[in-house]
Amino acid sequence: MSTLKEKTIVITGAAMGLGLAAAKEAASQGAHLALVDLNEAALQEAKAAIVESFPEIELITIIADVSDEAAVKNYVGETINAFGRIDGFYNNAGIEGGQTKLIDYDTELFKKVIDINLLGIHYGLRYVIPVMQKQGYGRIVNVSSVAGLLGAVDRTAYVATKHAVAGLTKVAAIEYAKDGVVTNAIAPGFIYTPMVEEAFLIMNPDNPKAAEIEASQKNPAKRLGQPEEVAKVVAFLLSEDCSYVNGQIIAIDGGQASAY
């Protein structure tokens, strides 16, 4: 099986959660990393942890808000300046956008979720794909969700944008496969990250642990996923071995999206 050794991988939302776990997995395989996030303090902490564990890899950090097109263009440019190429792109940054019934969902918040979860992914594709086309090689993983495959109550904008990410993934996959650019998405279920901790707090402010237990019990595996379990799949999708899996939305959810 091929690894990510010497591959240049760009990861957005890299400071914590799924992005950080993927960064650690890629670093363990010897990748060079461009880590992007808007939370500067958390990104520096993430960098320190990775450098301590994997001192041999090359790593840059870039502060950027993925909903700002100029900032996205800039993180792609900075990565090219540092490494000269982009082999893998983990288009991961996203937000939940609170939990409210559809008819009460605040329109400004809806627009913000679209800006980050949908346009942020689109801008990333828009600026990274031309780099990969020139190379004749690239691997892209967009982050959708089980909420990109199924509805979820109280998460109007999140569900809408995660379904849209699945759509973007299919378009990128069919337009650029001929150029050696392979694009897939992942659809994680509840994975234990800061975002999900926050979600449980919103679901049950007095007893977030009860919300966590309820989510675990609804899952066929009777537990939440761990970020490392997602990172292993992402590492494969970013590797040379992922050569003919293209345009897929891959659930990483303990079987949740298969249950009736």
94 lies in the site for ligand NAD, by CB under 6 A: yes
CA distance 146 to 134: 33
Q: How many CA atoms lie within 13 A of 234 on its CB side?
A: 32
193 lies in the site for ligand NAD, by CB under 6 A: yes
Indicate which single residue of 114, 195, 202, 250 sits in contact with ligand NAD (rule: CB under 6 A): 195
H or E segment to which residue 28 belongs: helix 17-28
- Whether 181 contacts 129, CB under 8 Å: yes
Which span sits near ligand NAD by CB under 6 A: 65-73, 125-133, 208-216, 233-241? 65-73
CA distance 181 to 15: 26
**Region 126-155 residues binding ligand NAD, contact defined as CB under 6 A:** 143, 145
Indicate which single residue of 4, 11, 16, 129 sits in contact with ligand NAD (rule: CB under 6 A): 16
65 lies in the site for ligand NAD, by CB under 6 A: yes
Indicate which single residue of 10, 35, 59, 93 sits in contact with ligand NAD (rule: CB under 6 A): 93
156 lies in the site for ligand NAD, by CB under 6 A: no
Q: How far is CA 71 from CA 61, 117, 127, 144, in A?
A: 13, 15, 11, 22
Alpha helices in 96-220 (DSSP H): 107-113, 120-135, 156-176, 194-203, 208-218
Measured from the CB atom, is 18 or 57 closer to ligand NAD?
A: 18
Measured from the CB atom, is 20 or 57 closer to ligand NAD?
A: 20
Listed residue (100, 98, 93, 99) closest to 116, CA to CA: 93
191 lies in the site for ligand NAD, by CB under 6 A: yes
Measured from the CB atom, is 198 or 241 closer to ligand NAD?
A: 198
Cβ neighbours for 217, distance < 8 A, ≥ 6 positions apart: none
- Out of 137, 158, 192, 260, the active site residue is 158
Q: Which residue is nearest to ligand NAD (CB)?
A: 17
Measured from the CB atom, is 132 or 147 closer to ligand NAD?
A: 147
* Matching residue, tokens 């776990």: 21
Question: Under rule CB under 6 A, how many of the chain's residues touch ligand NAD?
Answer: 29
95 lies in the site for ligand NAD, by CB under 6 A: yes
Q: Is 176 among the residues known to form the active site?
A: no
Neighbours of 1 (CB within 10 A): 7
Indicate which single residue of 196, 235, 238, 251 sits in contact with ligand NAD (rule: CB under 6 A): 196
254 lies in the site for ligand NAD, by CB under 6 A: no
Cβ neighbours for 225, distance < 8 A, ≥ 6 positions apart: 188, 189, 190, 191, 192, 252, 253, 254
38 lies in the site for ligand NAD, by CB under 6 A: yes
Q: What residues make contact with ligand NAD under the rule CB under 6 A? A: 12-13, 15-19, 37-39, 42, 65-67, 92-95, 116, 120, 143, 145, 188, 190-191, 193-196
Active site (catalytic) residues: 158
